[in-house]
Structure 1
Amino acid sequence: MSEELNQVEVKSFEIGDKVTGQVTKVEEKQVLVAVPGSKLDGIIPISELSSLHIEKASDAVHEGDQLELEVLKVEEEALILSKRKVDAEKAWESLEQKFQSGEVFETEVKDVVKGGLVVDLGVRGFVPASLVESYFVEDFSDYKGSNLTFKIVELDKEKNRLILSHRAVVEEEKGKQKQNRLGALQAGQIIDGRVQRITDFGAFVDIGGIDGLVHISQLSYEHVDKPSDVVQEGQQVQVKVLSVDRDNERISLSIKETLPGPWINIAEKAPKGSILEGTVKRLVSYGAFVEVFPGVEGLVHISQIAHKHIGTPHEVLKEGQEVKVKVLDANENVQRLSLSIKELLEKEVEENLDYELPEESKGFQLGEVIGDKLKNLRK
């Protein structure tokens, strides 16, 4: 063995040379390395072990490790070496390929610093807080030591700048899910969803990675002034798909159409002959539509509005007026309700009642009155 060692050529090294060394001792702030062909000890300062800040050398290497190194300085008694520079040189080449191809890769979060996360990819990679998630994160402490997927969004070897994004990966995946979800949706489907946000004109509902709009008119059979009167953010709801516009990624949904229809059991809710209160919703030439239940309007035909003859319903009624109506007929199958206002009104007194004799004629018999008239005619 000693003969083999004697046969190893003693080399003289220069700054920038690449060497291979074996770790012989790990101290707190430096590592000792045996370099074949060198009479000098190899020393790696702790600052040259990793692209990241480390507290002690044992965090980066262990005794017996074979390392690829670069000569930083040749001193009389030692070679000052760097593991960091070799790792970085190899890393930049690989990272450039990942950057150009848009590759998604997984790595461990080594540290949490002010403004974001730090990873070790042979060079220090930084993940700004705004590029960690697609939502606001107040405390990143739980991220340290976890594995996340990343894409490189900025790379500059000259400035030693490497910016990564986990958010880009998440949003890209959401985009794929959205397209898949859009492709699978069909009008008429009834699915579960969650109210994401509420606007003046309706509510946006998450139906599995994609939002659809429930217009205010589709929230309830009743009239809705404000969507927040009917639904709340975070509420689980069932919706019916009304339409899917894949080109513009728009989905129209309805909560109303998943609810029991207002005409269900209408004959029980409004039996023939019953008296209901309602609101005049529309006036047309042939009558008035009166809402007696949310979403249920019945027709009061013009002939059933008043006892007297009227030319148009506007002569007697106005929209928004509260009225009492009597149910003439209720048909659930054709969603028709016939109503009457007239039948709840007292019939007007006839103008031509039986003729009443003047006061002074009382006490006379009719025959006497007629007899007197006949005598006058004879004269």
Structure 2
Amino acid sequence: MTEDMNNVEVTNFEVGDKVKAQVTKVEEKQVLVHVENSKLDGIIPISELSSLHVEKASDVVAEGDELELEVLKVEEEALILSKRKIDAGQAWENLVKRFESGEIFEAEVKDVVKGGLVVDLGVRGFVPASLVEAHFVEDFSDYKGKQLTFKIVELDRDKNRLILSHRAVVEAEKGKQKEELLESLQPGQVLDGTVQRITDFGAFVDIGGIDGLVHISQLSHEHVEKPSDVVEEGQQVKVKVLSIDRDNDRISLSIKETLPGPWADIAEKAPKGSTLEGTVRRLVSYGAFVEVFPGVEGLVHISQIAHKHIGTPHEVLKEGERVQVKVLDVNEQEQRLSLSIKDLQERDSYDAGDYELPEESKGFQLGEMIGDKLKNLKN
């Protein structure tokens, strides 16, 4: 074909025309194509292959590919063409529909850049770091090449602006799971959970997408000063559902009720006749309550505090004092423990009940003592 004939062919095209072409050669920075139904060749600069940055043209197209292109420039012997513009035009129409319907879709993360992620949807989509996850992510390098679900949160075709969010999808799923879980929960259920947050008044436990509160009084059978003394963030725990307030999304949980009670197997831990050490917790008019195991208090009746007679337990004991006690009786079912302090103490040597006359004095008569006195007077 002569140069004049080529010129005639070229003048048949205008900027903005849509053409179909086949890739004839892929070079590093451009692609050569043959335009269908003509004898013209076209050139696609590497910058016009994709809305994203392209290192090598061969990453996008290969020889023999059939492409739909838009004319950017008409030169004397060839057309300068764009694949990017065609892709973007088709993509924007689809993206507008997705945006208006709130559709959730899956796409591959093409690149990680400063401030977020880049996704190729025919046009460049940007995911700000704050919209990637519902939690803080320090390093996004592992996200490149990853398939994620997205929702379009901002779209402006005139400014070529497309903002996506994966976080919105995650939070919507969590909301749905939370609603379903709330509906399925029943008081009395025992569930596995993870301690999420500790406060002065208890711990919040995640039971599968929703947090419930374990009040400080429900953390342990023992008295708890600080929740952090008993549990830590990230700890796996079993919890029992106490109550559900669906209107306010509040769930009350208990760790204590999933643990063996302090009185469980008490007959084995404190058998009758055994000696234990405990702390005096309360003094009352009729005796003293001594804690021998966490959450287990036994009564030392006032008659079992000392061998001597006492008016009140306060005469002998004080709260917080450590004492040795002997188990007199144990009743696990009624959670009762009878204890004695005096049974472990020696009686005083002057106790009348223990005093005996010397062996040689046994049988000594009062009359004999009087007779001896009379004899002495006569003399």
TM, length-normalised to structure 1: 0.78
Q: Structure 1 residues 326, 46: closer, same or farther in 2, change over 3 A?
A: same
Q: Give 1:1-379 correspondences, 5 Å limit.
A: 12-36=12-36, 40-284=40-284, 286-301=286-301, 304-305=304-305, 308=309, 310=311, 317-341=317-341, 346=347, 365=370
Larger mean CA deviation between 220-229 and 327-336 belongs to 220-229
In the alignment, the residues of structure 1 paired with residue 139 and residue 75 of structure 2 have an alpha-carbon distance, to the nearest angstrom, of: 47
Q: CA deviation at 1:315?
A: 6.0
In structure 2, give the amino acid aligned to 1:248: N
User: What is the Cα deviation at residue 161 of structure 1?
Assistant: 1.3
Alpha-carbon offset, residue 235 of structure 1: 3.5
Distance across 2 between alignment mates of 1:183 and 1:315: 59
Matched position secondary structure for 1:365? helix
CA distance in 2, matches of 1:145, 1:101: 27
- Unpaired runs of 5+ residues, structure 2, are 1-8, 353-367, 375-379
CA change 1:89–1:323 in 2 (3 A) is same
- Give the aligned partner of residue 358 of structure 1: none
Alpha-carbon distance in 2 for matches of 1:44, 1:97 = 29
Unaligned runs of 5+ in 1: 1-8, 351-362, 370-379
- Tell me, in whole angstroms, the C-alpha distance in 1 between the residues paired with 2:141 and 2:210: 30
Q: CA deviation at 1:275?
A: 3.8
SS in 1 for 2:281: strand
- What's the CA shift for 1:266? 2.0
Indicate conservation of the 8 Å contact 2:204/2:211, yes or no: yes
Percent identity over paired residues:
80
Q: CA deviation at 1:10?
A: 8.9
AA matched with 2:131:
L
Q: 1:152 to 1:283 in 2, by over 3 A?
A: farther
Shift, 1:155, TM fit: 1.5
Shift of 1:206: 3.3
Distance, in Å, in 2 between the alignment partners of 1:248 and 1:302 is 51
Q: Distance between the aligned counterparts of 1:83 and 1:177, measured in 2?
A: 43
- Whether the aligned pair in 1 keeps the contact of 2:10 and 2:76 (CA below 8 Å) is no
Q: Deviations over 1:68-92 (max 9, x none)?
A: 2222222222222222112112211
Q: Is the 8 A contact 1:11 1:38 kept in 2?
A: no
Deviation per residue, 1:12-47 (Å, 9 max, x gap): 232223333333333322223333455643322211
Given that residues 112 and 143 in structure 1 are in contact (C-alpha distance below 8 angstroms), is that contact kept between their aligned partners in structure 2? yes
Counterpart of 1:5 in structure 2 is none
How far residue 341 of structure 1 moved from its aligned partner, in angstroms, is 4.4
SS of 2:328's equivalent in the other structure is strand
Opposite residue 99 of structure 1, the aligned amino acid is F
Q: Compute the displacement of 1:125 (Å).
A: 0.8
Q: Secondary structure at the match of 1:73?
A: strand
Whether the 8 Å contact between 2:112 and 2:144 is mirrored in structure 1 is yes
Shift of 1:124: 0.3
Mapped to 1, the partners of 2:96 and 2:268 lie a distance apart of 75
* Structure 2 contact 10–74 (Cα < 8 Å) conserved: no
Distance 1:63 1:269, change over 3 A: closer
**1:360 corresponding residue in structure 2:** none
Higher alpha-carbon deviation: 92-101 or 197-206: 197-206
Give yes or no for contact 1:49–1:60 (8 Å, CA) kept in 2. Answer: yes
Q: For residue 141 of structure 1, what is the amino acid of its counterpart? A: S
Q: Which amino acid aligns with 1:180?
A: E
- TM-score, length-normalised on structure 2? 0.78
Q: What do residues 315-373 of structure 1 show as CA deviations (whole Å, max 9, x unaligned)?
A: 655432333434332111111123344656658968xxxxxxxxxxxx9839x99xxxx
Change beyond 3 A, Cα 1:317–1:247: farther
Q: Is the 8 A contact 1:10 1:37 kept in 2?
A: no
SS at 1:319 equivalent:
coil
Aligned residues: 349
Q: Structure 1 counterpart of 2:272, which letter?
A: K
The 2-side partners of 1:142 and 1:325 are apart by: 63
**Given that residues 27 and 58 in structure 2 are in contact (C-alpha distance below 8 angstroms), is that contact kept between their aligned partners in structure 1?**
yes
Measured in 1, the distance between the counterparts of 2:164 and 2:285 equals 70
